[in-house]
Chains A and B, each alone.
Chain A
């Protein structure tokens, strides 16, 4: 299976900060990469697919980039509703989907 490694595992930030989360795949996954937001007690929410395509309804302050093995999720100006845990997921059709370990974004 493809291993996904996220960093950092947690980050403390303030409203208005720029936050960057990275995700590294153990092998080339082209752009088969998704980012999800997950809040406690809620359903996970798809933010970005295809490494950089913003899902409908997701604010433009979320941006995904990268290809191959290295990917980045950037929140340009953190809002109160963005405090959550973020997961990357490799989405290649053939090997089983696998998730990164998650990055918890909390209030500084």
Chain B
């Protein structure tokens, strides 16, 4: 069974940095696009970023572009999200999701998420 486990969340001050990780198992990691999606407290889902299997193509939501960097280590089957210049509005549960593998941006499955809190 495909398994995704996020880690690295925590409490960080505004302006600070944090790196999230998503450990993947039970599938050929390098064959799939991967996504980060977040959910702020009491809000809906917001797509954050995606990266192709080779790590050569990356796309970002306008709200994080220039501050967040998505990357991957295929040898370790791990996806990353480097978050810099964090703002209070970045407070959210961050989920990683594997792309379904068909045309279009469909996430399946998803991890359980890791909570990031940006506060002084």
Contacts and interface: CB of A to CB of B under 8 A. Distances in A.
Size bin of chain B's contact surface? 20 to 34
Nearest to A6: B44
Interface string B91-120: 000010100101111111111110000000
Interface in A71-96: 87, 89, 91-93, 96
Contacts of A102: 44-45
Interface residues of A, number: 26
B21 to A, nearest CB: 16
A31 to B, nearest CB: 9
A50 interface: yes
B38 to A, nearest CB: 11
Contact of B107 (A44, A50, A96): A44
A50 B106 CA distance: 9
Contacts of B104: 32, 34, 49-50, 91-93
A41 B47 CA distance: 18
B46 interface: yes
Given A43-B95, A44-B45, 5 more contacts: A49-B106, A50-B104, A89-B45, A93-B103, A93-B104
Interface of B: 4, 35, 37, 44-47, 50, 59, 61-62, 95, 97, 100, 102-113
13 contacts: A32-B104, A34-B107, A38-B45, A43-B109, A43-B112, A45-B108, A46-B106, A49-B100, A55-B108, A93-B103, A96-B62, A97-B50, A99-B46
